[in-house]
Structure 1
């Protein structure tokens, strides 16, 4: 038979057993020293929550755990969106710097021949395009020998050609910048190199009152470099600078 003193000591022994640390003392001391490290470790917290769920039993629904899982899923989506926004911002900044460098290079030449040479060379390389063509409308139908001496960048076409080419002959409302994917480039614009063109940007140019319009065509062998889903603000800015630069050669 147990004495009254012995009966009193039973719960104390059980309590001592529950409070006795079951982990290594050095590890416990480290956790007690930096408890925030556990809270910041998502995998470790998930493991602790899972251990607690096993202790609760299968017949108990942990609404708090369900809410935490949904919050974690929402946080993951927010983090993915945040990374996408940051990546897009860096891409836009890189594109802006790229266009600015191309504009500065375009302003350097002092004569039209050097201007065209740089346009098809360093300006095109800075913008990362494979082919650059300047298309000018004119009422002159005969081949001018001077045009051939200006290199492969310049194309002379009849009036109305630029609008028809840019909108694909659909008669759509004119846009300054048209981006599209193509099966191959137009031979009259790219020559033999058109066989390798898979996307292009058409920048319509307005040279002022009394002058026929023009067009700057950028061709790329990458089918994803110019697509209708891409923004056109930077190319629109480049076209505006190009128009103003060309006017000094047309005066």
Structure 2
């Protein structure tokens, strides 16, 4: 029996039970033990809710209120993150050169998002822009853990070296692959957090990936000298 059939059978059974109880109200009204288990009592042929029933209603209301508060809190957090991201984009677009771009990535990580660090890195063997981390060929794949991976969220030991002296403080990272210039050179933008729960594997990478695309387009303004 599939899910649809099971639900249909359940609905039919519930309808039959309700119909039977309407025709035989004494089954519940005259069963004191059953009424007690349900938290109900009969007074002058009117069923009153007892303490147990009211407690269940109150508990259900509290669960609904908690769920609503969680949804509202998540919506506020998402709105705030989007606002910070839009501000970060403006900061990045105002970069004057590669070194200034790398500095702004680190600044926005710390000042806008409360993170430990933000780093931009690029594979060789050609020159690496000033202020960027230099990577060996194939190192981006090693950092992301998969040659086809576009991003990685959570803790990645292979990425600790990106953060230099601050690597010992990093407990979680957001990593996004970069492809800059033509022919494309592989790179990575990395944000590090001191909080193990700052970035987790089940967390969406959309906003970080968006910043990565902005960094790519901004970096292509200038040649690597």
TM-score, normalised to structure 2, is 0.70
Alignment CA distance shift 1:136-1:172 (3 Å): closer
1:71 Cα shift?
2.7
Structure 1 residues 228 and 71 mapped into 2: Cα distance closer, same or farther (>3 Å)?
same
Structure 2 counterpart SS, 1:224: coil
The equivalent of 1:17 in structure 2 is: none
SS at match of 2:95: coil
The structure whose residues are more often strand, as a share, is 2
Provide the alpha-carbon RMSD of the alignment. 2.7
Deviation (angstroms), 1:193: 1.7
**Equivalence for 1:76:** 62
1:159 to 132, 137, 144: 137
Partners of 1:185 and 1:196 within 8 A in 2: no
User: Structure 1: where are the runs of 5+ without partners?
Assistant: 1-57
Q: What are the residue-to-residue correspondences of 1:1-251 with 2, within 5 Å?
A: 61=36, 62=40, 64-65=48-49, 66-122=52-108, 124-140=110-126, 150-151=130-131, 154-167=132-145, 171=146, 173-174=148-149, 176-181=150-155, 186-187=160-161, 189-207=162-180, 209-250=182-223
| Alpha-carbon distance change, 96 to 213 in structure 1, aligned in 2, over 3 angstroms | same
Task: Give the direction of change, closer, same or farther, for the CA distance of 1:208–1:113 in structure 2 (3 Å limit).
Answer: closer
Give the Cα–Cα distance (whole angstroms) in 1 for the partners of residues 140 and 79 of structure 2. Answer: 31
Instruction: Check whether the contact 2:109–2:116 (CA below 8 A) recurs between aligned residues.
Output: no
How far apart are 1:209 and its partner, in Å?
4.8
Q: TM-score, normalised by structure 1?
A: 0.63
CA offsets 1:156-183 (integer angstroms, 9 cap, x no match): 112211121112xxx4741x32111357
Residue 67 (structure 1) shift: 4.3
Structure 1: how far apart are the matches of 2:109 and 2:117?
10
Count the aligned residue pairs. 181
**Structure 2: runs of 5+ lacking an equivalent:** 1-31, 42-47
Counterpart of 1:248 in 2: which secondary structure? coil
Structure 1 residue 226: Cα displacement: 1.1
Deviations 1:98-124 (A, max 9, x none): 111111111112222322232223454
Q: 2: CA distance between counterparts of 1:232 and 1:133?
A: 16
Alpha carbons 1:135, 1:157 under 8 Å: kept: yes
In 1: Cα distance, 2:96 partner to 2:77 partner:
32
SS at match of 1:214: strand
